[in-house]
Copies of this chain bind each other. A is one copy, B any other.
Amino acid sequence: MSVKLLVLGLMMERDRHPYDIRQTIKARNWHVTFNVRDGSLYYAVDQLCQEGSIEAVEIVQAPGQNRPDKTIYRITDKGRETLVKMLNKQLGETAFPQHPVLSALPFIRNSDHTEALRCLETQLEACKERISMMEAVQQLKAGTLPRGSVHLLRGILKLSLAEKEWLEEVIAEAKNGRLFEPKPPSPDS
């Protein structure tokens, strides 16, 4: 969710420019949890700057002279406060995460069944890939990472494993068609 939290958190490690943040996310395989578009990133940086949570420190002239120069930002004292507040806020949100398949399921009988099955199988594929990726990363880096990041990996892994089992059940019922049956007798669904 909060892109601002991400920005401030990364700025705690060192001064950065927006694009650096983008790269760091990739480098750490954080795109799984932090699904941020460029737009939101630059927007968040702008906001943080306006509210005084970060400040521009340096403008680096890029190699070619017509290229836009990157502005490097630093977190301020106010920013450190903001960070603590946002952490509290976010840790306090008890909303269940939104899963696309989960929220599509109650309506799935209105779908094109063949197509839906194909989608579910793609989901399972993606899920399995995520699992092996997380296992690999854990092997490689677990020793060197701060505990928070380790638990991030373990969390993704654990949730993905549960997701996998569940998807397999759903797919089984999609295959035998039961998933798409109109209804048992019932009054309210």
Which residues of A approach B to under 8 Å, CB–CB? 1-2, 5-6, 8-9, 12-13, 27-28, 30, 32-35, 80, 83-84, 87-88, 90-112, 115-116, 119-120, 122-123, 126-127, 130, 143-149, 151-152, 154-156, 158-163, 165-166, 169-170, 173, 178-189
Write out the residue numbers on chain B whose beta carbons fall within 8 Å of the beta carbon of A152. 102, 105-106
Q: How far is the CB of A110 from chain B (nearest CB, A)?
A: 6
A102–B169 Cα gap in the complex (Å)?
A: 26
Instruction: List 10 other contacts, CB 8 Å, given A9-B110, A33-B99.
Output: A1-B98, A5-B104, A9-B107, A33-B96, A34-B103, A84-B110, A91-B104, A144-B184, A147-B180, A158-B165
